[in-house]
C-alpha cells in the first residue's frame, strides 16, 4: 500500500480544483434567454406559470392542475410548468431583478406604469391581437395597461374599486341601519360619533397608514373629494384643497371627536385582522376584504357590509381602482409570450365565455369554501360579465344584499397616480401618520411639503 504523503494530498487537491473550475466554467449559462426570434404559434414551447395554489388548499390546487391538463390537451405544443410563486410586495422587486419569476404571474396593478416605463414588461399587443383578445377586455381596465402609444403590455384581471367596509353588528348595536352605510364623509363622521356613544371598546373608524397604504387611502379620499394627487400625465404633483379637506376630516375625527381609536400604524393586513376581531366599525376597503375576513379569519359573513366610497364636496366625484396585472417575462421569447397569453386567456377569461368552465370554476371554489360571486369590476365587458353571473347564480354564496350600496354605485372609476405610484404612496404615509399623531400639525403645510416630495419622485422616475 502506497503511503499517502503531503505531496499526494496537494496533487489530488490541486487537480480536483482544476476539474472543479473547468466544471464551473462549463456550467455557466451563456445567456439563454433572449427576446429575439420569429413568432411561430405551432412551435414547441415551455413556459412557467405562477399563482398555483399551495398544498394546503387541495380543492383549489386540484382545480388548477386540472385546468393545466386541459390546457395542455388543447395545446399540444405548449408545456406548462406550474409554480406557487405569488406576488408579495416585499420580495417582488428583488425577484423581478433576479429573474426568478415565472413566465407569467399576477402582480398588483399599482406597478403597471412603472413596469411599462422601466421596460420590465414586454409589449403584448401583437400576441393579444393574434388571440383576438383586445376587443373582449374591459376598456377601462386596459387604460391601466397601455403606454402613450396605445401599446398594451399586460392583461388586467381581479379588478376592484375602493369602498367602505363596515361591521353590521356594530352598526346594529349603535342603533344605525346596517343596510345604509355612510354615503358622504359627513355621514362617516356622524356615524362614528354614534358608534362611539353607543358601543364601548371599539374603534368607530380606522385608517390605514403604513407600508404605502396610508398614501393609497389618502389618494382615494382625495379622489372622493374631487381632487387628484398627480395630473393625468403624471408630470406634476397637484394635491390641493381636496387633500387638505380629507386630512382635516381625519384630524377632526381623531382630535375633536376621538372616534379613531388609539392605533395609528395599521396596514392592510393589520386592519383586516382588527376588523375580523370585531373591534372596528368602519374602514376603507375593496370588497375583496370579504375573502380575507371569511376564509382566513373565520369572521361571520352576516356581519360584513361593504358600501360605496363615501363622497365629499358636491358628491359623485369618484373612487380609486386597482387590481391585478399579469406580469409577462420581458426576457421571454415571442413563442413563450404567445403561449403565456393563451394560458391567461384560457385560465382567467374562458369562464366568462364558456358556461361549463364557469360552472366548474364556481363549483370548485364553493366546495373549498371560497366566496363565489364576490362583487368586483369584471376584466371583460359588462354584458359578458352579466351573462356569466346568470350562469353561476346557483353557486353564489356571497350575501350580495350586504354589498348592495357598493354594487349599485355609479361612481367614476379613477386610475392610480401614474408616475412612481408606490413611491408616491410611500411619501404620503407620513403625512397621514402626522395628522393622526400630532394634534398641532399644520395640514396645509404638510400637503405643500408632500407636493414637493411627490414632485421629486416624479422627476426621479422620469430620469
Partner 1 sequence: MTKTLDAPPAATARRRKRFNLTRWAQGGGLHAVLFAVPVVLVYVYFSWGPVIQGLILSFQKTNLVQPAEWVGWSNFTYVLADPGLVQASLNTGYFALLALVFGFPVPIILAVLINELRKYDTLYNALAYLPAIVPPVAAILLWKFFYDPDAAGMFNTALGWIGLGPFPWLNAENSAMSSIVLYATWAGAGSTAIIYIAALATVRTELYEAAEIDGAGIWRRIWHITLPQLRNVIFVMMLLQIIGTFQIFTEPYLFTGGGPNNATQTILLKIYNYAFVNGDFGAATALSVLLAAFLGLLSVAYYFVTKRWSTT
CB of 291 to partner 1, least distance (A): 23
Coil vs helix vs strand at 383: helix
Residues 114-143 that bind partner 1 (CB under 8 A): 114, 118-120
Beta pairing class for 304-308 and 319-328: unpaired
In 161-255, alpha helices (H): 168-173, 185-198, 213-224, 241-251
Work out which of 31, 98, 150, 440 binds partner 1, going by CB under 8 A: 98
Whats the size of the chain, residue-wise? 463
CB of 260 to partner 1, least distance (A): 11
Strand runs labelled E in 296-358 = 304-308, 319-328
Q: What backbone torsions phi and psi does residue 189 show, to the nearest 5 degrees? A: -65, -45
Q: For partner 1, which stretch binds (CB under 8 A), given 68-76, 89-97, 131-139, 332-340?
A: 89-97
Compute the distance between CA of residue 243 and CA of residue 248 in angstroms, rounded to an integer: 8
- Cell numbers placing 426: 410611500
111 or 347, CB closer to partner 1?
111
355 or 452, CB closer to partner 1?
452
54 or 91, CB closer to partner 1?
91
- Cell numbers placing 296: 382566513
Is 436 one of the binding residues for partner 1 (CB under 8 A)?
Answer: yes
99 or 394, CB closer to partner 1?
99
Residues 6-25 that bind partner 1 (CB under 8 A): 6-7, 10-11, 13-15, 17-18, 20-21
Is 422 one of the binding residues for partner 1 (CB under 8 A)?
Answer: yes
Is 303 one of the binding residues for partner 1 (CB under 8 A)?
Answer: no
52 or 210, CB closer to partner 1?
210
CB of 94 to partner 1, least distance (A): 6
Residues 307-346 that bind partner 1 (CB under 8 A): 330-331
Is 438 one of the binding residues for partner 1 (CB under 8 A)?
Answer: yes
Q: For partner 1, which stretch binds (CB under 8 A), given 54-62, 185-193, 347-355, 426-434?
A: 426-434
Compute the distance between CA of residue 327 and CA of residue 156 in angstroms, rounded to an integer: 9
Return the exposure string of 15-50: e unless at least 16 CB atoms fall within 10 Å of the residue's CB, then b.
Answer: eeeeeeeeeeeeeeeeeeeeeeeeeebebebebbbb
Residue bearing cell 466544471:
23
Residues 149-188 that bind partner 1 (CB under 8 A): none
Is 267 one of the binding residues for partner 1 (CB under 8 A)?
Answer: yes
Compute the distance between CA of residue 378 and CA of residue 21 in angstroms, rounded to an integer: 55
Compute the distance between CA of residue 245 and CA of residue 248 in angstroms, rounded to an integer: 5
CB of 102 to partner 1, least distance (A): 15
Is 430 one of the binding residues for partner 1 (CB under 8 A)?
Answer: yes
Instruction: Report the sign of the C-alpha dihedral through residues 459, 215, 161, 408, in that order.
Output: negative
Beta pairing class for 319-328 and 104-108: antiparallel
Contact letters (x/-) for partner 1, 236-265, by CB under 8 A?
A: -------------------------xxxxx
CB of 95 to partner 1, least distance (A): 10
DSSP at 118: T
Q: What backbone torsions phi and psi does residue 115 show, to the nearest 5 degrees? A: -65, -40
DSSP at 303: G
Query: Among 188, 219, 240, 187, which Cα is nearest to 318's?
Result: 219
Is 93 one of the binding residues for partner 1 (CB under 8 A)?
Answer: yes
Q: Which residues bind partner 1 (CB under 8 A)?
A: 6-7, 10-11, 13-15, 17-18, 20-21, 89-94, 96-99, 114, 118-120, 201, 209-212, 261-265, 267, 330-331, 420, 422-423, 426, 429-431, 433-434, 436-438, 449, 452-453, 456, 460, 463
Amino acid at each position: 500500500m502506497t503511503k499517502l504523503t503531503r505531496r499526494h494530498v496537494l496533487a489530488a487537491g490541486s487537480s480536483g480544483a482544476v476539474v472543479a473550475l473547468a466544471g464551473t466554467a462549463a456550467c455557466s449559462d451563456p445567456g439563454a434567454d433572449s427576446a429575439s426570434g420569429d413568432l411561430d404559434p405551432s412551435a414547441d414551447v415551455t413556459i412557467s406559470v405562477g399563482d398555483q395554489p399551495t398544498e394546503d388548499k387541495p380543492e383549489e390546487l386540484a382545480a388548477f392542475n386540472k385546468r393545466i391538463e386541459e390546457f395542455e390537451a388543447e395545446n399540444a405544443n405548449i408545456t406548462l410548468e406550474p409554480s406557487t410563486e405569488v406576488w408579495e410586495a416585499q420580495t417582488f422587486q428583488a425577484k423581478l431583478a433576479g429573474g426568478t419569476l415565472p413566465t407569467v404571474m399576477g402582480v398588483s396593478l399599482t406597478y403597471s406604469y412603472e413596469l411599462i416605463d422601466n421596460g420590465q414588461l414586454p409589449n403584448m399587443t401583437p400576441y393579444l391581437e393574434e388571440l383576438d383578445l383586445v376587443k373582449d377586455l374591459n376598456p377601462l381596465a386596459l387604460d391601466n395597461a397601455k403606454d402613450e402609444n396605445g401599446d398594451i403590455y399586460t392583461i388586467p384581471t381581479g379588478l376592484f374599486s375602493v369602498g367602505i367596509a363596515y361591521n353590521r353588528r356594530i352598526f346594529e348595536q349603535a342603533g344605525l341601519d346596517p343596510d345604509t352605510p355612510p354615503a358622504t364623509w359627513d355621514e362617516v363622521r356622524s356615524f362614528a360619533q354614534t358608534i362611539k356613544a353607543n358601543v364601548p371598546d371599539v374603534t368607530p373608524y380606522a385608517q390605514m397608514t403604513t407600508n404605502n397604504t396610508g398614501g393609497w387611502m389618502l389618494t382615494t379620499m382625495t379622489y372622493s373629494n374631487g381632487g387628484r394627487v398627480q395630473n393625468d400625465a403624471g408630470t406634476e404633483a397637484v394635491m390641493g384643497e381636496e387633500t387638505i379637506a380629507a386630512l382635516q376630516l381625519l384630524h377632526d375625527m381623531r382630535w375633536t371627536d376621538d372616534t379613531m381609536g388609539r392605533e395609528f400604524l395599521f396596514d392592510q393586513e393589520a386592519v383586516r385582522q382588527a376588523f375580523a376581531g370585531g373591534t372596528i366599525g368602519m374602514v376603507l376597503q375593496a370588497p375583496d376584504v370579504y375573502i380575507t375576513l371569511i376564509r382566513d379569519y373565520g369572521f361571520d359573513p352576516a356581519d360584513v357590509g361593504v358600501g360605496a366610497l363615501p363622497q365629499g364636496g358636491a358628491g359623485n366625484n369618484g373612487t380609486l381602482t386597482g387590481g391585478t396585472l399579469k406580469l409577462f417575462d420581458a426576457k421571454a421569447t415571442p413563442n413563450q409570450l404567445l403561449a403565456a397569453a393563451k394560458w391567461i386567456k384560457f385560465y382567467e377569461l374562458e369562464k366568462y365565455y364558456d358556461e361549463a368552465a364557469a360552472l366548474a370554476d364556481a363549483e370548485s371554489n364553493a366546495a373549498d369554501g371560497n366566496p363565489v360571486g364576490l362583487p368586483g369590476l369584471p376584466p371583460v365587458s359588462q354584458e359578458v360579465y352579466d351573462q356569466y353571473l346568470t350562469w353561476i347564480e346557483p353557486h353564489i354564496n356571497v350575501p350580495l344584499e350586504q354589498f348592495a350600496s357598493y354594487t349599485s354605485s355609479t361612481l367614476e372609476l379613477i386610475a392610480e397616480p401614474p408616475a412612481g405610484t408606490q413611491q408616491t404612496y410611500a411619501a404620503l404615509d407620513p403625512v397621514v401618520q402626522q395628522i393622526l399623531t400630532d394634534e398641532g400639525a399644520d395640514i396645509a403645510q404638510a400637503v405643500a411639503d408632500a407636493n414637493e416630495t411627490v414632485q421629486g419622485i416624479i422627476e426621479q422616475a422620469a430620469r
